[in-house]
């Protein structure tokens, strides 16, 4: 085990080009990072950010271009080469081994002085030092599957630091974090730069980029649009660089006249995966032409609520009715057939089948209905035409309809799920974190579609941690805390007040 950290004065990418079948993901990209700097990488979904970082980390081989570390050209043939140079990466989707402990995960792949046995005591001790130095609290003996997402991320960061990473690549680290966890992460990132580490930070949230970075590089369609000094730029300018135009954040919504209740939840209780009560005796109603937003810090039962409504989790007590029909504990298929659509938070595992093509995913759930099928036969011509219309209308960036969904970028997968669900013209739409990990252009588009859907009469239950999103879309806001609705308020409620309710410090009479 080495004790001295490799020092990195600069890392430079020159003319990096990478072609995937049908997509030029990186087109002569030049980019550099200096010691002690946080360099943010911005760009729409599919712009090529993760690809560029995987090239730097030795996971992909570029078709052209070179990587220089401290001025010397280096061939990154594998992550081992990258780590040898002091480059570490925390991926968009974590790569931990769930049944192993934190210490075991960190030690995995490292050489041990005791031969095959891992020096877990040594690992634990060094982890405690790193934890103290950088504020990365996590129990070395805890099993990874039992950790919350934010803690798993800390394990990934610790794993890289343990290997003496001097440059750390963080691919959308905040997409999975609560606002409080983001604050904690930022404290850690500042401590890292204070000790000479360099960071590459990818995020779709402009306010985060403004808050944490020293410089920002914007990518669009695989090319660099420009690099700016954060202090000398604005959110508006960055948005324009990313999307090529101004972005709408305030929506005009006609008043919602409808009184007819579509979703009625009465005294609903449900348990989480650990068997604890996560939704407590919760009641709410959503009317036609209405967006009711559930605001709250994640982990307060929102996810269990959504899954219970969608028939994917058992209600312990209480009832769920949609348009007067009792759907409590019915099978998902029956709920779907009652014109309920669900955009799940866990889109990679619940929203799509990763190995299926774009086309196949576009017809999941609807595949047995006319006009796509007639008796037992699929009409492949119609399926292709349907999928190609969805891809076009919802601007899903994919090389072909036969591309497996796992090759699409996160935001494009979300747009595909959205297209499929909205296309069913649901009476009730449950949308959980619909724009998480989605770029601002696509977020704007998804917001526009949700409002259109509301105006056409759909009742929408929006579950979001993003307060800007909640305030922009909601007709009413229900704040959820520890499994309960602690208040239902109007969308003009001051943010501070919402914040207090979200933290459980304030309770309002519910209506
Ligand atoms: N392994 C792969 N095989 C084929 N195409 C790929 C692969 N990885 C990425 N692509 C394509 O390359 C392009 C760039 O993808 P990349 O994941 O780098 O985008 P991104 O900027 O990270 O997007 P996001 O913000 O959604 O994460 C996309 O069109 C994507 O579909
Ligand atoms: Mg990415």
Instruction: Give me the mean pLDDT over the 35-39 stretch.
Output: 95
Band of pLDDT at residue 150, cut at 50, 70 and 90: confident
Q: How close is the Cα of 172 to the center of ligand 2, in Å?
A: 7
Question: Residue 102 burial (CB < 10 Å; 0-12/13-18/19+)?
Answer: buried
Could you please state the CATH topology (level 3) that the domain comprising 248-339+425-511 is classified under. Answer: Rossmann fold (3.40.50)
The three-point CA angle 128-130-131 to 5° equals 60
What is the average pLDDT score of the chain? Answer: 87
Confidence of residue 485 (pLDDT cuts 50, 70, 90): very high
The predicted-structure confidence for 314-333, as pLDDT tens digits, reads as follows 999 999 999 999 999 999 88
Ligand nearest to the CA of 411: 1
pLDDT digits (tens, 9 = 90+) for 191-210: 999 999 999 999 988 889 99
pLDDT at position 122: 83
Could you count the other beta carbons within 10 Å of the beta carbon of residue 258? 14
Q: What is the signed CA dihedral for 462, 323, 273, 509, rounded to 10 degrees? A: 60
Is the pLDDT at 117 greater than 80, yes or no?
no
Please tell me if the domain spanning 10-243 has the same topology as the one spanning 248-339+425-511. Answer: yes
- What is the per-residue pLDDT for 121? 81
Are the CB atoms for 38 and 199 separated by under 8 Å? yes
CA end-to-end span of the chain: 61
pLDDT recorded at residue 359:
86
Closest ligand 1 atom to Cα of 222: 14
- With a 6 Å cutoff on the Cβ, whether 51 touches ligand 1 is yes
pLDDT, residue 377, reads: 56
| Residue in the block written with tokens 């595909």 | 416
Whether 374 has a pLDDT exceeding 60, the answer reads no
Q: What does the pLDDT read at residue 366?
A: 56
Write the residue with the smallest CA distance to atom 10 of ligand 1: 407
Q: What's the maximum distance between 2 C-alpha atoms anywhere in the chain?
A: 72
Percentage of the residues of the chain whose pLDDT score is greater than 70: 92
Residue scoring higher pLDDT (169 or 3) = 169
Q: What is the mean pLDDT of residues 172-193?
A: 87
Q: Give the residue from 37, 38, 30 showing the smallest Cα distance to 12.
A: 30
Are 407 and 22 in contact by the 8 Å Cβ rule? The answer is no
Ligand 1 atom at minimum distance from 53 CA:
18
As given in the structure block, the two tokens for residue 164 are 């003496």
The neighbour count for residue 219, using CB atoms within 10 Å, is 27
pLDDT value at residue 367: 46
pLDDT value of residue 378: 61
More confident residue, 177 or 73: 73
Would you state the pLDDT for residue 354? 79
Kindly report the protein residue whose alpha carbon is nearest to atom 8 of ligand 1.
Answer: 407
SS3 state of residue 341: strand
Residue 54 CA: nearest ligand 1 atom is: 18
DSSP letters, 362-398, are HTTTTTTSTTTEETTEE-HHHHHHHHHHHHHHTT---
Distances (CA, A) of 379 to 171, 286, 366, 405, 505: 40, 37, 13, 21, 56
Residues 343, 437 contacting (CB under 8 angstroms) = no
Higher pLDDT, 109 or 57: 57
On whether the CB atoms of residues 50 and 439 are closer than 8 A, the answer is no
The answer to whether 502 and 479 are in contact (CB under 8 A) is yes
Chain position carrying tokens 């039992």: 146
Strand partners, 428: 340, 459
Q: 10-243: what fold?
A: Rossmann fold (3.40.50)
- Report, as an integer, the average pLDDT of 268-291: 95
Burial level of 79, CB count in 10 A (0-12/13-18/19+)? middle
> Where do the domains of the chain lie?
10-243, 248-339+425-511, 351-420
**pLDDT tens digits for 429-458?**
999 989 887 888 888 888 998 999 999 999
Q: Which two tokens stand for residue 384?
A: 């292709």
> pTM value?
0.76
> Is 82's pLDDT higher than 50?
yes
Instruction: State residue 192's pLDDT score.
Output: 95
pLDDT at 368: 45
Residue 370 has which token pair?
């006319």
45 Cβ inside 6 Å of ligand 1: yes
Q: What is the pLDDT of residues 230-268, one digit of tens each?
A: 999 998 899 889 888 777 777 777 776 688 999 999 999
Q: Using an 8 Å Cβ cutoff, are 241 and 66 in contact?
A: no
Nearest to 193 by CA among 16, 392, 337, 33: 33
pLDDT for residue 295 is more than 50:
yes
pLDDT for residue 175: 80
């Amino acid at each position: 085990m080495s004790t001295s950290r490799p020092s990195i004065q600069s890392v430079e990418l020159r003319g990096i080009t990478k072609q995937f079948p049908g997509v030029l993901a990186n087109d002569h990209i030049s980019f550099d990072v200096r010691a002690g700097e946080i360099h943010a990488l911005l760009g729409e979904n599919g712009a090529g950010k993760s690809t560029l970082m995987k090239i730097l980390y030795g996971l992909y081989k570029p078709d052209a271009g070179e990587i220089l570390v401290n001025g010397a050209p280096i061939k990154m043939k594998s992550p081992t080469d990258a780590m040898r140079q002091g480059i570490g990466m925390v991926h968009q989707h974590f790569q931990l081994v769930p049944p192993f402990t934190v210490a075991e995960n960190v030690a995995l792949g490292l050489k041990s002085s005791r031969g095959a046995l891992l020096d877990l005591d040594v690992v634990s001790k060094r982890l405690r030092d790193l934890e103290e130095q950088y504020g990365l609290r996590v129990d070395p003996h805890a099993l990874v599957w039992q950790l919350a997402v934010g803690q798993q991320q800390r394990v990934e960061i610790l794993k890289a630091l343990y290997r003496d990473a001097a440059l750390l690549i963080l691919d959308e680290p905040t997409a999975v974090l609560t606002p409080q966890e983001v604050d904690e992460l930022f404290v850690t990132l500042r401590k890292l730069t204070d000790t000479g580490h360099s960071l590459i930070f990818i995020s779709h949230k402009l306010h985060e980029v403004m808050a944490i970075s020293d410089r920002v590089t914007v990518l669009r369609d695989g090319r660099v649009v420009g690099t700016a000094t954060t202090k000398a730029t604005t959110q508006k300018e960055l948005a324009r660089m990313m999307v090529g135009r101004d972005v709408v954040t305030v929506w005009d919504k006609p008043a919602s006249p409808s009184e007819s209740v579509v979703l009625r939840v009465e005294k609903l209780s449900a348990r989480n995966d650990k068997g604890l009560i996560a939704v407590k005796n919760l009641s709410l109603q959503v009317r036609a032409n209405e967006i009711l937003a559930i605001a709250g810090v994640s982990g307060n039962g929102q996810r269990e609520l959504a899954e219970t409504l969608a028939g994917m989790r058992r209600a312990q007590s209480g009832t769920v009715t949609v348009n007067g029909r009792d759907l409590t504990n019915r099978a998902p298929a029956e709920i779907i057939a009652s014109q309920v659509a669900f955009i799940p938070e866990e889109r990679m595992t619940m929203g799509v089948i990763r190995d299926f093509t774009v086309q196949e995913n576009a017809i999941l759930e609807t595949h047995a209905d006319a006009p796509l099928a007639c008796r037992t036969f699929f009409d492949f011509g119609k399926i292709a035409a349907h999928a190609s219309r969805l891809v076009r209308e919802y601007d899903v960036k994919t090389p072909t309809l036969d591309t497996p969904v796992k090759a699409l970028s996160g935001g494009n997968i979300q747009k595909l799920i959205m297209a499929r669900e909205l296309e069913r013209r649901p009476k009730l739409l449950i949308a959980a974190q619909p724009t998480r990990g989605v770029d601002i252009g696509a977020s704007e588009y998804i917001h526009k579609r949700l409002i259109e859907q509301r105006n056409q009469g759909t009742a929408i239950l929006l579950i979001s941690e993003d307060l800007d999103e909640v305030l922009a879309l909601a007709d009413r806001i229900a704040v959820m805390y520890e499994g309960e609705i602690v208040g239902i308020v109007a969308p003009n409620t001051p943010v501070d007040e919402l914040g207090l309710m979200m933290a459980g410090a304030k309770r309002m009479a519910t209506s």
